[in-house]
Structure 1
Amino acid sequence: MNKSRRIAYRSAAVAVALVVLAPAVFSSFASAATLTAVTVRFDRMKISTPTTGTVCAKPTSTATEATVKVTYPTGYALGAAATFTVDTTTNITSWPTGAAAWTGITTASNVTGQVVTFGSGDLTAAQLYCFNWINSAAVSIKGSATSSNSGAVETFTGTPTSIDVSSFSTPSIAEDQIVVTATVPQAFSFALSGNADAIGVITSGTPKTGATPITVTINTNA
């Protein structure tokens, strides 16, 4: 009888262990896929400098997106959600080749820590999408120069459930502009092909031209 009870207790213990471990095992299957491509470009990289910029991502999954969250690097100062105004129609010549305007992108709705949440429309897998944040009050570069500052871009369904995610890295530098000064001496030349033309006798009402017209050549660097 005692042996039977011990077997029963052991069976129950194994069952409890399986119940406890099951969520940990199955949760791995719900993890997000990796975005095929991610680019976050800051128009300025100088330390302590406000900046605009561009976010690009290429979805891997076919789920329906509702938001995109951009995690800016630690130390980068972020403004309120309303400062993250976006645009997809101007200043797009610097976007990667083949990029399309990010479907349904809207001004940020939330800023929590370093994470900024933007509204998004449904995206097509394998298509690269981009948008610009156009208010420099939204982001300011950190105060120290660092070769690698990490962040992330992650898309979500309306639930919200994570769809695709990938990280990015960007430097912060002491100076990001070069000042060039130069002096160009003035240059000007004026030359005639000749200074005499034998027109002959000119009578009233009968215009005449010279046999060899005089030409003038002017050169300048103005």
Structure 2
Amino acid sequence: MKRIVILTGAGISAESGLGTFRDVGGLWSQYDLEEVATPQGFARNPALVHDFYNARRANMLDAAPNAAHAALARLEAEYPGEVLLVTQNVDDLHERAGSKNVLHMHGALSGAVCAACDHRWPAPRAMDPAAPCPACTAPRARPDIVWFGEMPFHMDEIGHALARADLFVSIGTSGEVYPAAGFVDEARACGVETLEINLEPSLVPGLFDRVIAGPATQAVPDWVAEVLA
């Protein structure tokens, strides 16, 4: 049975109304990333960081999974082999669509972590910088998000999965942010077939064996139907 490893990026959630780094006028453009997406920024101004992620969490909770999320959940449920979803996204739309085998390499807005003792728990809709940790009571709660300068989660598990895969699929990601941008090279080095599904092909021609261009809500369900046919 074939093993499929799928990497998803912001492009798969964009059609659910969740913005990307590059959206002009979007939430990211209104903040200095050094202040809201680094450990140093959190140390300087926890309230500002929580305001930013509370807004992102509210956007996520008010959004709904789209046809691309639903198609990948269908693939996992009906494919006779193994399907692993690795996502750069911090939203929970894959899970809400029905996917179960999901690794969040950049963390999740639905989680909170204590910066003092590393205890983790489900995040409320709005986090408060003064709220105590349920384990140690320190007022050091932060979103369970991988910030710039921090190590992404699950890297060993992802590397092992890529080495064993028969097909690697990249969906809705720019291919510019490492380490995820290097997954296609890891897969190719192991002789794995590669496929890109994106609005536009990645900047490096010939990087993928096959490219499907188009909106995720159209291209992903079409590809899943092809695989399951």
Q: TM-score, normalised by structure 1?
A: 0.23
Alignment TM-score, normalising by the size of structure 2: 0.22
- Bigger fraction of residues in strand: 1
